[in-house]
Chain A
C-alpha cells in the first residue's frame, strides 16, 4: 500500500508541475506568433 501511494501523488504533481512551466511558455509562444503575423499581414 505504501508503494502505491507515491505513484498517485506523483501523477498530480506531474501534471501540476508541467502546467507550471507550460502555461507561461504557451503565453510567450502565443505573443510571439501574434507578433509574427505582421509578416504575413
Chain B
C-alpha cells in the first residue's frame, strides 16, 4: 500500500503534460473551499428538533459558530504540523489523508446531527474536517511550484483560486441538497452531509490519483533560470526547520497575517455594513448579492494578482496590496457619507481582490525566498498566520464597532474608525514587507546535506 503512495510511483514519465497538474490541485481545492460556505448550514442546524421552527433543545447559532472556527484553527495547525510530513511522503498520500479526513469529517458530523450531539459535529467537521482542510490546502502547492518554475505565481494562484471557488460551489450545492432531502420530519442536513462527504471524498481522490511530481532535475522545455538572478529570487534552498530561524519567515508570517486580518475583518461585516451605511436603499437580498460579488472578486484576485506577481515581483505585489489597500480602506467611509454606493462596492471589491491575492501570492513569495525544496512545509507553517487572523480580524472589527456604538456613534458611522484601523494594519504590513531581504547564505542548504535531512530529497525521488 505504501508503494502505491510512494513518490517514485507518482514521478511523471517523459512526455507528461504539466497542465494536468493544476486540475488535480483544483479537484482538491474546489472541495475544501466549501468550508467558507459552511454558514448556509447554520440556520437549518438550529431547527434539527423543531424542523419548522427552533425547539427549546435545538442548538443555538452561538454554539454552531464554533464548528467553522474549529475547522479554521485545525486547518492552520494541521498545515503547520503536516507540512514537513508532506515534503517527506509526497502529495498523493497527503491528498489521500486529506480526502479521508474531509469526507469522513462530514460523515461523522452527520452522525453527530443524527444523535444531536454537538461534540460529534465539532469533532467531525471542526477537528477531523479541519485537518483535511489543512492537509488538502498545502498538498499541491509545492508540486505546482516545481512544475511551473517559470510561472510560480500563476500556478499556485490557480489552485488557491479553487479554494475561493469552492465556496461558490459549496453554497448552492448545500442548498440544493437540503431542498432535495427536506421533509416534514427533517431539515435535510444529515443527508446533505452524507452526500457531500461522499462527493468530496471522491473528487479529492481523483486529485490524489492523478497528481504527478516532476523528476528532480526537470525544467520546462526551452526554459532555463534567468541568467541575471533577481536578488529576491533565490536559487538556494533553506531547510524547513532552518526557515524558522530566519527573520524572513516571521516577517512573511506578519505580512500574511496583517493582510488577512484587515480583509477577513471587513468581509465578515460586509452584509451588515452596506445595509447600515446605505440604510433604506439596500435590502437583505441585495446585501447577500453584495457578499456574493465580493467572493467573486476574492476568487478572481487570487488568480489575477498571483499571476501578475510573476511579472511585478512578489515584494512589489504586496507593496501594491498594502499601499493601495490602505488608501481604499481610508476612502470607504467617504463613499458611505457621499451616498455613492457604486464606488463603495467597487472599492470593497478591489480590497477583496487584494485579500485573495495575498493568499495566492504567498507560496510563490516563500519559494522565491526559501527555495522550492521545502516550500510546501514552510507554507504549511506560515498558514498559522491565517488561523490567527481568522480570530483576530472579526474580533477586532466587532470590538471596535461595539465600542463605537457604546460611545453613542450612529450605526452608519460606526465603521469609519474600523476602516482607519484596518488601513493602519496594512501600513504595519507595508513596513514588514519592506524589511524582507534575501535569506543570509549561512541558512542555505549545502548539497551534501540533502540526503541526511529526513530522507526528503533526493534519495526517495529517484
Contacts and interface: CB of A to CB of B under 8 A. Distances in A.
Interface of A: 3, 6-7, 10-11, 13-14, 17-18, 20-21, 24-25, 27-29, 31-33, 35-41
B289 interface: yes
B285 A38 contact: yes
B19 interface: yes
B65 interface: no
B23 A38 contact: no
A29 B168 contact: yes
B384 interface: no
Contacts of B15: 3, 6-7, 10
Contact of B293 (A3, A28, A36): A36
Interface in B143-171: 162, 165-171
Contact of B292 (A3, A10, A27, A32): A32
B337 interface: no
17 contacts: A7-B15, A10-B15, A17-B210, A20-B23, A21-B26, A21-B27, A28-B167, A29-B165, A29-B168, A29-B299, A31-B168, A32-B296, A33-B296, A36-B296, A37-B289, A38-B288, A41-B286
A14 B17 contact: yes
Majority secondary structure, A binding face: helix
B172 interface: yes
A17 to B, nearest CB: 4
B16 interface: yes
B38 interface: no
A39 B293 CA distance: 9
B290 interface: yes
Nearest to A3: B15
Contacts of B293: 32, 36, 39
Given A6-B15, A31-B171, A36-B292, A25 B23 contact: no
B283 interface: yes
Given A17-B210, A21-B27, A21-B162, A28 B288 contact: no
A10 B296 CA distance: 31
Majority secondary structure, B binding face: helix
A27 B175 CA distance: 14
Interface of B: 13-17, 19-20, 23-24, 26-27, 30, 162, 165-172, 206, 210, 282-283, 285-290, 292-293, 295-296, 299, 345
Contacts of B17: 7, 10-11, 14
Nearest to B16: A10
Nearest to B294: A36
B20 A21 contact: no
B290 A36 contact: yes
A15 B27 CA distance: 14
Contact of B30 (A7, A21, A33): A21
Contacts of B292: 32-33, 35-36
Contacts of B296: 29, 32-33, 36
A33 B293 CA distance: 7
Given A7-B15, A21-B30, A35 B20 contact: no
A10 B210 CA distance: 12
A16 to B, nearest CB: 9
Most chain-B Cβ atoms within 10 A of its Cβ — which of A3, A33, A38, A39? A39
A25 B169 contact: yes
Contacts of A13: 20
B192 to A, nearest CB: 16
Nearest to B166: A28
Given A20-B27, A32-B295, A38 B289 contact: yes
Contacts of B345: 39
